[in-house]
């Protein structure tokens, strides 16, 4: 069974973390998947951690995980931290498939999303 894990930074502001958790639920609904097949996890400052979310998913029958870094730019978290977490999980779960997707800011649809949401009175 394939799952999607949305990875965000994590915040000291609990409401921000809840936004990401809510996003995962909305994505599951949009994809018409059970809520448990789309989850969110955090790199730091919030729970669940990436390791915890991956381990729980694989322990509960997930065989393939798509990991989406919910970051706009390819800073250290995207280039090093998230891939290192994924590599560590792959070592713990060698019989499972983990695919690290490009970060959300690299999505081709991001340009259209920004352009479609850009509104000014004088434009």
The pLDDT > 90 percentage for the chain reads 88
The whole-model pTM stands at 0.93
| Model confidence at 17: pLDDT above 70 | yes
Query: Residue 50 and residue 6: Cα distance in Å, rounded?
Result: 9
- Helix (H) or strand (E) segment spanning residue 24: helix 14-31
**Fold of domain 2-117:** Rossmann fold (3.40.50)
pLDDT tens-digit readout, 89-116: 999 999 999 999 999 999 999 999 988 8
28-58 per-residue burial string, b: 16 or more CB within 10 A, e: under 16: beeeeeeeebbbbbbbeebebbbeebbeebb
What rounded mean pLDDT belongs to the chain?
Answer: 94
Q: Length of the chain, please?
A: 123
* pLDDT score recorded for residue 121: 47
Asked if 69 contacts 78 with a C-beta cutoff of 8 angstroms, the reply is yes
């Amino acid at each position: 069974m394939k799952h999607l894990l949305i990875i965000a930074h994590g915040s000291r502001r609990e409401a921000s973390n809840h936004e990401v958790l809510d996003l995962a639920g909305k994505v599951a609904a949009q994809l018409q998947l059970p809520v448990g097949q789309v989850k969110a996890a955090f790199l730091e400052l919030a729970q669940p951690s990436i390791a915890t979310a991956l381990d729980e998913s694989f322990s509960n029958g997930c065989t393939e995980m798509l990991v989406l870094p919910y970051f706009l730019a390819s800073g250290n978290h995207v280039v090093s931290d998230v891939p290192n977490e994924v590599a560590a999980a792959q070592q713990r779960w060698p019989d499972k498939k983990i695919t690290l997707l490009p970060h959300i800011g690299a999505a081709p649809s991001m340009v259209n999303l920004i352009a479609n949401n850009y509104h000014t009175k004088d434009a």
